[in-house]
Amino acid sequence: MATAAEYGLGPNTYPRGWFIVAESREIDDGPIGVTFFGRDFALYRGESGNPVMLDAYCAHMGTHLAKNTSSMLIIAEVGGKHIEGDSIRCPYHGWRYNAEGHVDDIPYHDGPCPKSASIRSYPVVDNMGCIMMWFDEDGADPDYPPPYLAQWDEGGWVHWDLDHLPELDIHPQEVLDNMCDNRHLGPTHGAPCEYFENEMRDHVLIQRQGGAMTLYGGAMLYTTTWYTGPGVLLSKQVWGDATQFEMIANTPVGDGRIKAWHGCLVKSASGTVTPEDKETQA
């Protein structure tokens, strides 16, 4: 494991871009606490249905906004709810933060809420069954859209339920390096490449390659794989009549440590997704 400083990657510890921080379903039952980029966050779905991501700790006395099971606010809804509209109430004294991270209500105070009590809010979207956040250590806004497959919203594709891979002591740089490693494709994936190229287009790193598979009668496998920023890999894989898309995502947890997810979006053979398709997919 190496750190960003050891790699000489510049003044910031973490890369910028869109990153997965949860599956969409993980915030359907209330707020959760997550840790990425060496920071703790509160992540929840507002009553509008939109996800919201805030720094985790209340500016009043430092309570975690999402992790609480004993506050009467949470267990008995005395005097209020944890989520109101797209705002979240701190379980300790009930200060309420809106989706922009500003305090918009203090239950025992009639005057204006202090602007100095604001906490940081992060751009976050619900996209392809995932909650994706934009992270920029310097606080800059997104300058490209999150990765997206149009097939996700077409009929006939079996959606992924993501595999949650364990946290790994790997720097994100080492994950990206794999995109130009053409000599692992035979031993690791069983299809030694017969052609291979990389292309950089702004924030997108593309790999095109193909070769005969060791199994499946030596059928040709053709793949086009691309990173949109450093956190989300999508890959179109074609062999015979079959086409699937694969997603592999990594998000820094700390400096030199990542969490990873994996899933496949597969075309249903019948053109309509059946329970059998979902079972096979799982």
Q: Which residues bind ligand FES (CB under 6 A)?
A: 58, 60-61, 63, 90, 92-93, 95
CA distance 165 to 20: 13
For ligand FES, which is the closer residue by CB, 71 or 237? 71
Name the residue type at position 176: L
Closest distance between ligand FES and the C-beta of residue 44, in Å?
15
Considering the complex, what minimum distance in angstroms separates the CB of residue 79 from ligand FES? 13
Q: Which two tokens stand for residue 129?
A: 């069954």
Residue 89 or 267: the one with the smaller Cβ distance to ligand FES is 89
- What order of strands is seen across the sheet that includes strand 17-23? 17-23, 130-135, 124-127
Question: Quick one: 5 or 75, whose CB is closer to ligand FES?
Answer: 75
Dist. CA 157–CA 266, nearest whole Å: 6
Tokens 């996800």 found at: 51
Q: How far apart are alpha carbons 127 and 132 in whole angstroms?
A: 7
CB of 28 to ligand FES, least distance (A): 25
Using the minimum distance from each CB to ligand FES, give the nearer residue, 91 or 252: 91
Q: Which is nearer to ligand FES, 58 or 131 (CB)?
A: 58
Q: Detail the DSSP E strand segments found in 61-156.
A: 83-84, 87-89, 96-97, 103-105, 121-122, 124-127, 130-135
The rounded distance, in Å, linking the Cα atoms of 106 and 93 is 8
Closest separation in Å from C-beta 78 to ligand FES: 15
Name the minimum Å distance from CB 14 to ligand FES: 27
Q: Considering the complex, state which of residue 117 and residue 213 has its C-beta at the smaller distance from ligand FES.
A: 117
For the bound state, the minimum distance from the C-beta of residue 56 to ligand FES, rounded and expressed in Å, comes to 11
DSSP label at residue 4: H
CB 49 within 8 A of CB 60: no
